[in-house]
Amino acid sequence: MELKILPGITSPADVKALPVKQLPQLACEIRTAICDQIMKTGGHFAPNLGVVELTIALHYVFDFGHDRLLFDVGHQCYPHKLLTGRLHMLPQLRQTGGMAGFPDPRESEYDLFSVGHAGTAISTAVGMARGDLLRGEAMDPQTNPTGRRVVALVGDASIVNGVAMEGMNNAGTLRRQFLVVFNDNGMSIAKPQGALAGYFDRIRINPAYRKVKRAAKGVVAHLPGGSLIGEMYHRLGEMAKDAIAEDAWFEKFGLLTVGPIDGHDLPSLVDMLLEVKDFDRPMVLHVHTVKGKGYDFAEGDATTFHSPKPFTVQGCKVELKTGGRSFTSAFADALIDLMQRDEKIVTCTAAMPDGTGLNKVIPKFPDRSWDTGICESHAMDMMAGLAKTGFKPFYAVYSTFLQRAFDQAFQEVALHYLPVRLCLDRAGLIGGDGAVMHGFCDISTLRVFPKTVLMAAMDEPSLRAALEYMRTYEGGISAVRYPRDNVSDMFAAPGIDCPRFQLGKARTLVEHDEPDLAILGYGVMAINAMQAVELLNGHGEYKISVYDARFAKPVDIDLLRSLIERGVPIITVEDHGIEGGFGSCVLDACNEHGLDTRQITRLAIPDRWIYHGARGDQLEEAGLDAASIARNVRELLGRQRAAPLVETIRTRPDPTKARVSSP
């Protein structure tokens, strides 16, 4: 489709200038632009297709240069970005220097928060609503009709998250305009889970809620603002309703509720938003949308097309770009093998069955595996309960989402030395999703717990070995981290055995009797270290010993003592934040045992944010790719010869802070 309207949209003012009858055409063009781009680069597809009309209507009615728009699950922001003048950034979606895949205040004043985790929009919106009240800037239909309005857009089942519940509970106490737009598409990233999801399913399929021309004046007359809402229904008459009734769920939080209405009917959406924008009490507008709307393959399989890799469409056939074998696939197969051998193993994930590989596990073991929905804290406590009753729980969770369950890991798991096993996917630098999703703090988060064992996998055989060790470890929390990447076959060829994991013992990859330097790589960084050594060996420069560290807690203190007492300089390399990571564990252990740390250099994710781009680009920026490690070896050994025993912490220079184009 040729884009005729969208290229002329430089701000929401251009949207407002369009007649309503042209808005469906704009919606079609937005879908075309998003599809054409994601086919090339990948990205969040189905979530954005589902909110096109809703986003257009919001920008058509509100002025979000002045009003407040807060996103939940920010992966539904692409239409918003295109309506706020960022079409020119779309060709570099999720690439270095291009458009972020989530709201990003560095890009535009229309993005208020960088949002990658679910459940946050209502609470931050309540904060801004209260701030506007304190500053005298809040919209009041009587005293300040030009004041700021607040809208929270919630979707992909994040409404069931505990933080969202807390936010609604507090939102109900507001005495001002406050609109929650509940984008109910019947999906999370996968099929939503739990009793509340079932409640909304019943609303969607109940014919009583799909009828139009339903009067509400008599029902709402007794409610605060009831005359206004009654008059609204009298005038509109075309809107279905569900929650202005005694059993309305949102009403229990003190939020008047309207809907569900058709989220793809642009004229009706505009009419409804015009009616509710000046209501002076907290309100929920329940909007029913279809995830993946506009493309049959996305509507039919919204989970696969939630955030697909690049793909091609040939007639009715869609082919996703394939790569090598991922750590996620390797984990799923390894867990299936463990569960077949050990009937005490149970597993769960929090709304990420596809992302963690449990979509392969759950059908095989439906009685011992669960998807809890977007409820990381609940999932951790559920695993604690299962451990308490004698089972062996494996909790598959993205590293970036682990911190959402920190309190539960502390109080219900670690405090009782319960053996909950954490399988941390997406550890380290995440690639296109950027800073909101980096798994940069799982070591620093978990190492504070007594008897916790922290491991990292460098390839598929080591991942299997780590999981097997976790199966038998009963002293407390155990965890293994691995990245969103393909597994290396450098040490997985036939004839190469992977030694079993022994508590606190590293694995030797390359060893010299009198090395010039030793590299301790944590997880996949051991592979990068080996590649760096190959670069150095190409010039015959140095003798470098390389070790797969395996454990961050406890570290291999015997290996460290041997190297330090022989005067061998050490570089630690990790795909984790430098604060509190593997290198810090090494320094702390050496200090505890009275070992000299002056020849230990740490390479890690630097103490600044690294934004979206290819994972390879991010590793290079952080100084963790093979070439950067090799350069650090040369520089360090050069300095050692000139001025020995100088401690250094190497990070790359800070690049230009704003690596994105101005809108």
Residue pLDDT, tens place only, 24-64: 999 999 999 999 999 988 888 888 999 999 999 999 999 99
CA-CA distance, 410 to 263, in Å (whole number)? Answer: 42
Q: To which residue do tokens 């505890």 refer?
A: 592
End-to-end CA distance of the chain: 25
Comparing 185-194, 217-226, 405-414, 564-573, the range with the smallest average pLDDT is 217-226
pLDDT at 159: 80
Tell me the average pLDDT of the chain. Answer: 87
pLDDT at 653: 41
Query: Regarding beta strands 600-605 and 421-425, do their DSSP bridges make them parallel or antiparallel, or are they unpaired?
Result: unpaired
Comparing 34-48, 100-114, 600-614, the range with the smallest average pLDDT is 34-48
pLDDT at 654 over 60: no
Residue 509 phi, psi dihedral angles, 5° rounding: -105, -45
Q: Which two tokens stand for residue 5?
A: 């309207």
In this prediction, residue 157 has a pLDDT band, given cuts at 50, 70 and 90, of low
Residues 548-566, mean pLDDT to the nearest whole number: 98
pLDDT at 240 over 90: no
In this prediction, residue 241 has a pLDDT band, given cuts at 50, 70 and 90, of very low
Comparing 39-48, 181-190, 393-402, the range with the smallest average pLDDT is 181-190
Helices (H), 362-421: 376-388, 399-402, 406-408
pLDDT at 299: 76
Polymer length of the chain: 663
The count of other CB atoms within 10 Å of the CB of residue 3 is: 16
In order of their start, the domains of the chain are 6-299 (3.40.50.970), 327-481 (3.40.50.970), 507-650 (3.40.50.920)
pLDDT at 187: 52
Residues 280-286, mean pLDDT to the nearest whole number: 91
**Helical axes 226-236 vs 266-276, angle rounded to 10°:** 160
**Helical axes 615-622 vs 626-642, angle rounded to 10°:** 10
CA-CA distance, 222 to 230, in Å (whole number)? Answer: 10
pLDDT at 359 over 90: yes
| Between 243 and 268, the higher pLDDT residue | 268
CA-CA distance, 348 to 354, in Å (whole number)? Answer: 12
pLDDT at 638 over 90: no
pLDDT at 274 over 90: yes
pLDDT at 657: 37
Residues sharing a CB contact under 8 Å with residue 144, sequence separation 6 or more, in sequence order? 136, 137, 138
pLDDT at 570: 98
pLDDT at 618: 96
Residues 100-117, mean pLDDT to the nearest whole number: 93
pLDDT at 254 over 60: yes
Just list the catalytic residues: 291, 376, 404
pTM: 0.85
Comparing 140-144, 306-310, 324-328, 490-494, the range with the smallest average pLDDT is 306-310
pLDDT at 230: 47
Residues sharing a CB contact under 8 Å with residue 438, sequence separation 6 or more, in sequence order? 400, 428, 429, 430, 605, 610
Q: 528: helix, coil or strand? A: helix
pLDDT at 161: 80
pLDDT at 572: 98
Residues 497-510, mean pLDDT to the nearest whole number: 95
The count of other CB atoms within 10 Å of the CB of residue 147 is: 19
Of 553, 511, 545, 512, nearest in space to 529 by CA: 545
In this prediction, residue 242 has a pLDDT band, given cuts at 50, 70 and 90, of very low
Residues 503-510, mean pLDDT to the nearest whole number: 97
CA distances (Å), 80 to each of 49, 86, 223, 285, 395, in order?
A: 11, 9, 34, 19, 35
pLDDT at 651 over 80: no
pLDDT at 152 over 90: yes
CA-CA distance, 48 to 56, in Å (whole number)? Answer: 12
pLDDT at 591 over 90: yes
Question: CA-based angle 388:371:346, to the nearest 5?
Answer: 35
